[in-house]
Amino acid sequence: MPERRFSRTLLLALVAFAVTASQLGTIVSAQVAGIKRTPPKTRAEVVKDTIFGVEVSDPYRWLEDQNSAETRAWIDEQNRYTDSILQALPGRDRISSRFAELLKIDTIGVPIERGGRYFFTKRLASQNQPVIYMREKGRDVALVDPNTWTKDQTSSAALMDISEDGKLLMYGIREGGADEIVGVILDIDSRKELPDRFPKARYFGTTFTPDKKGLYYTRFQNGVGSHVMYHEMGTDVAKDVEIFGKGYGPTELISPDVSRDGKWLILYVVHGSAARKIEVYAQNLEKKGPITTIVNDLDATFNGTVEGDHLYLLTSWQAPNRRVIDVDLNNPARDKWRTVIAETPFAVTGMRLAGGKIFVNYLENVATKMKVFETSGKLVRDVPVPPMGSAGSMNGQWDKDEAFYGFSSYKQPFTVYRYQISTGKQEEWARINVPVNTEQIEVKQVWYESKDKTKVPMYVAYKKGTKLDGTNPTYLTAYGGFNSSMTPGFSTFAAYWIEQGGVYALPNLRGGGEFGEKWHEAGMLEKKQNVFDDFIGAAEWLIKNRYTSPQKLAIAGGSNGGLLVGAAMTQRPELFQAVVCSYPLLDMVRYDKFLVAKFWVPEYGSAEKEEQFKYLLAYSPYQNVKQGTKYPAVLFITGDADTRVAPLHARKMAALMQAMNGSDKPILLHYDTKAGHSGGSPVSKQIEDMTDTLSFLFWQLGMKAS
């Protein structure tokens, strides 16, 4: 999915001064005096398609060719123009210095226990990239350190799987922010890489067999789709055998999972990102049985875990908020399925097995709650999750009495908790210490009406004592898609924005998963306009209630959130002063022709179908830019290494808006030749990018870095 990988972030200004629209224009001009204000000229072509009788113009289609000499020269010219403006803005040193303090800290992830060893990622304050560690007998040992791989430290390591005995570790080598990785297997005891090396590709669901004789994995290819492969250890990866996937195409993703005892192979076929339909198949590996169908005829989701001969599935079947069922794999007939945990009014976001129990994560008014159940369905207890925050699913082993989860909130940096399953006692295992005074942060959850009167919740965070006089610089961000829930969590960007006197707002739009599948469905396909209406409604509420004004309001989003802010600025340009649009989808008429985008057709639809073409064209930002409209200032952010959302969207949109904008506000493109969708940027690069983004926002909102 075009995911929200650019995390929820905040930011604000300690000395935020009020200015009128005309004063702001004077300040903006003064700050960039002597800098070239006219963007580079971009060649336009007469390119028109007739789609279902409608003529659609595409004057910058030539920019779709990422590798042509003309496109590369255009990118270089755009970057020079953007840099000439951003690099000259005041306060950059102060912003960069403060972000170095916030980001150059020790960080740690949630551990995974295998064979009495704990595996996790950790980054020291002096490092650019996280390192994969193992803790054994109280001692931490670095296993994979990507900081030594390249001079610019843009390569990162992704932990893919660990054998049940903790002896083998598979990790991925990621270059820049690309989705594709090179797979490597490490013998942990000898610290030597095995000859089994997986070529650069998209891999999903990598899982060792318990006897370590083989490995199941999925390889996904653009335009082709998923193939589940079996690799026999010690053999040539090029000779791996395909065991499942024939008949499926690029709109399906197939993922394998092997049971802890090695008896069962479970295969999940996901129909599109954030699918409303998932098929499930099983194979008895012990008996070398055939692959048999568990379910393939229901428009519902199924995800789960095997323990013994029982497959525990979290499903939306007859339960839009999801429930947990038990399928006996020796007798998997549907009439034998047993409901273990019934649906409740609150959406279930995750389910895990650990310590002989079932852990279920709920969202109650967009805050995480976690409960523990017996496999009979009896409630054991609630996990004492801190309030108004986000907790990950419990991570543990079925036969162990401990498990771990991570938690954060606007006021609490990421913390790892160790939970004793038999007693319910928990303790901090690790906490990230960020130099921020979180006691100064005020957090509220408010509800507002969207265009169709639907009630939508929104988190609002700001410094205690902030006056609601309509003058506060405000950063409004959201996602609204793919059943993805935008829950409150700590962010250094958010903390800095609040520290600097701004308001941070995060509405929970339809299209997300905050209130179950019905909430998701209310913001997808032909109902996608609801998402944009919800977001515009949040902006109107913030202005009406005097948190801010249009001259002080910035919106930001990435990936599907980039589509969101693109639609908002083309539909209601007068509402916003500035827009940060990152790794976006913007040409919705042609989006599914590139990279992995066919996987998103179940969420958005496709212009290849007439009814879907009509609503896609109606909101597609690229096709709805109007000549002479006074648009807000825009900073588009993308890069060559985005192999998920094609960067051509940002290229074409930047060129079009520069040509058609009727205001004197800048339309800028920040194009990184190594950045991509999957993160992996070194800390030093994160600081540089954040400095650019904040300089742009401070400039446009009349803020002064302190």
Which residues, including other chains, have CB under 8 Å from residue 526's CB and lie 6 or more apart? 605, 611, 612, 615
Q: What is the 3-state secondary structure (H, E, C) of 580-636?
A: EEECCCCCCCCHHHCCCHHHHHHHHCCCCCHHHHHHHHHHCHHHHCCCCCCCCEEEE
Specify which residues 157 forms β-bridges with: 173
pLDDT for res 178: 85
The HSE-up count of residue 421 (CA atoms within 13 Å, CB side) is 23
Q: How far apart are CA 123 and CA 145, in angstroms?
A: 10
Q: How far apart are CA 177 and CA 617, in angstroms?
A: 30
Q: What is the pTM of this model?
A: 0.93
How is 673-688 classified by DSSP, letter by letter?
Answer: SS--TT----HHHHHH
Active site residue 677: yes
Q: Considering only the top CATH level, what class is 15-35+448-704?
A: alpha beta
Q: Which residues of the chain have pLDDT under 50?
A: 2-35
Q: What is the 3-state secondary structure (H, E, C) of 448-499?
A: EECCCCCEEEEEEEEECCCCCCCCCCEEEECCCCCCCCCCCCCCHHHHHHHH
pLDDT for res 305: 96
Name the one residue in this structure whose structure tokens are 């007739």.
Answer: 50
From the list 155, 549, 677, 678, the catalytic residue is 677
Q: How far apart are CA 438 and CA 415, in angstroms?
A: 14
pLDDT for res 681: 82
CB count in 10 Å sphere of residue 199:
11
Q: How far is CA 121 from CA 1, 59, 305, 360, 681, in A?
A: 24, 46, 24, 25, 15
Q: How far apart are CA 107 and CA 416, in angstroms?
A: 11
Q: How far apart are CA 117 and CA 598, in angstroms?
A: 40
Smallest CA-to-CA distance from 641 within 232, 223, 177 is with 177
Q: How far is CA 512 from CA 2, 450, 516, 534, in A?
A: 13, 15, 8, 12
From the list 255, 259, 559, 620, the catalytic residue is 559
Q: How far apart are CA 638 and CA 635, in angstroms?
A: 10
pLDDT for res 21: 31
Q: Locate 347 and state its tokens.
A: 């959406």
Residue 562, SS3 per DSSP: helix
pLDDT for res 680: 72
